[in-house]
Structure 1
Amino acid sequence: MYSSEVIEEVISRNDIVDVISGYIKLKKNGSSYVGLCPFHNEKSPSFSVSGTKQMYHCFGCGVGGNVITFVMEYENYTFPEAVKMLGERAGMELPETDYSAEDRKDRDIKTRLLEINKIAATYYYHQLKSEAGKSGLDYLVKRGLSDKTINSFGLGYAPQSTGELYRMLKDKGYGDGMLKESGLFTYEKGG
């Protein structure tokens, strides 16, 4: 993680009004700026940015924070990713984050779980388009979902048996413990 000094410097070198106005249109309103909130649908501006306080707040949905929390929310970044992005934006040389062995292990596990779920999502998507998934596709069409919607959201079909997906993931080197932790598979004692 970054030290508190580095984080404070990143915040001080990134004026919140400049950063947020790169994402949404802001209009000066007294001592602050207002715009349409990027975190919920609205027709009249309830999103306020204070240059003096270096904070933002939406009176419509209640979100608020500093420049780092805005980037985290808007870009769907983790805290270190947002700090890194803002540091680069400010032309700062950030020290490499020094993760502990436990942090690296946790990050590796999360990465592998994400990989497993991406593979499963692709598998289920292809199943929906196969003969086996015809009933699932018919159901979605009957519910009024277009091909564009199905494709945009990557909707899929999970067959009764998960054997084929299980074998495919095992062939890619994932162990039973990792597969169980993914939540896609359960194991019963004795079989």
Structure 2
Amino acid sequence: MPFPEWLIEQIRQRIDLVELVGEVVALKRVGKNYAALCPFHSEDTPSFFVHPERGIFKCFGCGKGGNAITFVMEYYRMSFPEAVRFLAQRAGIPLPEEAERSPEHEAHQRVTALYQVLQVAAQFYQEALSRAGGEVARKYLNGRGVRAETVKRFGIGYAPEGWDTLLEHLRQRGFHEVLMEEAGLVSRSEHGKPYDRFRHRLIFPIYDPIGRVIGFGARRLREEEAAPKYLNSPATPLYDKSRVLYGLYHARDALRAQGYAVLVEGYLDVITLHQAGIDTAVATAGTALTEEHLRVLRRYCQQVFVVYDADRAGQQATLRALELALRQGFEVKVVLLPEGEDP
């Protein structure tokens, strides 16, 4: 059902457009307005403007413009009903009962449930790291020099060995296994039996730009295992590895302030660099760099330092990153590491 006009008007009045846009775009004040590089197309000179008094934005390069609802629809790829619900929740505006019964609301509720189950899973993994059974994971982190405050900041955890430890934990909290599977937390055997996707692995939560858990990266803790060294969440309604940058949530303020990113390969590269004070480090972690990754990064900075591993695969990845970043209009610098060294 359509939303009443009064609801739309309340959202427009209560939402601070500068704050909303500023969460994902580096805005610079220009008189009474704000300017930025457009988040919807590549450009070298800012042509994207936010007019807070009028509550609108406009890009004079690609032509996109509108209000807070339009921005959320375009940037987060939401439908109109999804954007209205997103902003109403943000502004603390209750929705009319008739809107609550719509199919779009059901879809929104499903997405909300995905965020909830992923957050509960992240908390479970974090608590498991400090319990009996997490010794191997703690020892590994100590060996890599990762301090306790860094573990807490990045939400690092441990997936226990059992085949259904997380599964049972989530069941006890009222989550259905179908939702767990949709969130990428459980897989199914050839007989259809669900089991934990991550087992006896170090867990790295992956966050979206506003700090919500959308997936996980997991490193094996037995080097002799034939299993993949790293296992990541599958594609889900929340997680698309071709456009998600690991560490972006923790780096976003520094990226805007300093104007450059340090692009590395893996989770621990990002974590140890942040711990060392290089807080603009981000990684693709689990997939090759794509143009979509760079489009996302372009919203925050215009310069990138590529710091990949010194092995042959790292060298090839560096050349590809250099080509893609130049094509997207970045100023690019390559940092060459001694052979055998990680960032």
Where on the TM-score scale, by shorter chain, does this alignment land: which range?
0.5 to 0.7
Q: Secondary structure at the match of 1:186?
A: strand
1:9-28 map, 5 Å: 19-20=17-18, 26-28=29-31
Q: Is the radius of gyration larger for structure 1 or structure 2?
A: 1
The Cα of 1:68 is off from its aligned counterpart by: 0.5
* Equivalent-residue separation in structure 1 for 2:183 and 2:103 (angstroms): 19
Kept in 2: contact 1:10–1:87 (CA 8 A): no
Structure 2 distance, partners of 1:49, 1:183, is: 37
SS at 1:26 equivalent: strand
User: How many angstroms does 1:157 deviate by?
Assistant: 1.1
Q: Mapping of 1:144-163 within 5 angstroms?
A: 144-163=145-164
Task: Give the distance between the partners of 2:97 and 2:178, measured in 1 at CA.
Answer: 32
Corresponding residue of 1:164: 165
2:120 is the alignment partner of 1:119: yes
Partner of 1:68: 68
Q: Does structure 1 retain, via aligned residues, the 8 Å contact 2:55–2:67?
A: no
Scaled by the length of structure 2, the TM-score of the pair is 0.37
After alignment, is 112-121 or 94-103 more displaced?
94-103
Which residue of structure 2 aligns with residue 134 of structure 1? 135
Deviations 1:105-130 (A, max 9, x none): 32333333332222211110011122
Distance 1:129 1:66, change over 3 A: farther
Determine the C-alpha separation between the residues in 1 that align with 2:2 and 2:140.
49
Moved more, 139-148 or 76-85: 76-85
Q: Normalised by the size of structure 1, how large is the TM-score? A: 0.59
1:175 aligns to what?
176
Q: Which runs of 5+ in 2 are unaligned?
A: 40-44, 194-343
SS at match of 2:50: strand
User: Which residue matches 1:186?
Assistant: 187
Greater Cα shift, 175-184 or 120-129? 175-184
CA change 1:8–1:177 in 2 (3 A) is: closer
Taking the aligned partners of 1:87 and 1:171, their CA distance within structure 2 comes to: 30
Counterpart CA distance in 2 for 1:145 and 1:181 is 32
**Cα 1:113/1:52, change in 2 over 3 Å:** closer
How many aligned residue pairs are there?
A: 171
Which residue is 1:42 aligned to? Answer: none
User: Which residue does 2:57 correspond to in 1?
Assistant: 55
Sequence identity percentage: 24
Q: Looking at both structures, which has the greater relative contact order when contacts are Cα pairs under 8 Å and sequence separation is at least 6?
A: 1
> What secondary structure is seen at the aligned counterpart in 1 of 2:140?
helix
What is the aligned-residue RMSD (CA, Å)? 4.6
Distance 1:21 1:104 in 2: 25
